[in-house]
Structure 1
Amino acid sequence: MYVVIVYDVAVERVNKVKKFLRQYLHWVQNSVFEGEVTLAEFERIKAGIKDLIDEDEDSVIIYKLRSKPKRESLGVEKNPLEDIL
């Protein structure tokens, strides 16, 4: 499945969440990751995020898609996916 994860977490947890998500997904923009994952990886990602965030203070949104969406960006591309092998 293809997932897009968007998060808004407290400053003291941002780098931990970013470092964790880089193990599984491609960094697209500040607080945005996306990529193809297996069901097992998806469950590990959800569990890992839950361990890192404060659910009373932080917000994480996960979009699950059946296939890679067509993507169009305007302005500066922060981390072009074309650079990924």
Structure 2
Amino acid sequence: MYIVLVYDINIEENSGQKVLRNTFKICKKYLHHIQNSVFEGEVTKVQLERLKSELQEYIRKDKDSVIVFKTRADRWLEKEFWAKEEDLTNNFL
């Protein structure tokens, strides 16, 4: 399945920077970094469950947010850039 993951980490708390850093590293293991707190990529159900499990160790349910948009494949997802276009996912041959 193809997913787009977006997160919002509250960094005003003492542990916020650590949560942000770990969230970024975990997402980068499974997905392509697109922009700030946005990742996308093809994952299996097992990989998605691992990603979720790893993130749950750090995400604070009362302060942070993670949203995952799922689709069957990237061909079902239309991407449109309205300003600076940096599509890092198209660098593959």
Tell me if 1:80 matches 2:88.
yes
1:80 is displaced (CA, Å) by: 2.3
Distance verdict in 2 for CA 1:74–1:17, change over 3 Å: same
Aligned residue in 2 for 1:44: 50
TM-score, normalised via structure 1 length: 0.89
- The separation in 1 between residues aligned to 2:47 and 2:37, in whole angstroms, is 19
Across the aligned residues of Structure 1 and Structure 2, the Cα RMSD in angstroms comes to 1.4
Aligned residue in 2 for 1:31: 37
| Secondary structure of 2:29 counterpart | coil
1:38 is displaced (CA, Å) by: 0.5
Question: Which 4+ residue blocks in structure 1 deviate beyond 6 angstroms?
Answer: none
- The separation in 1 between residues aligned to 2:86 and 2:4, in whole angstroms, is 16
Identity of aligned residues (%): 40
Tell me if 1:55 matches 2:54.
no
| Secondary structure of 1:52 counterpart | coil
Aligned length: 85
Letter of the 1:32 partner, please give it: V
| Secondary structure of 1:23 counterpart | helix
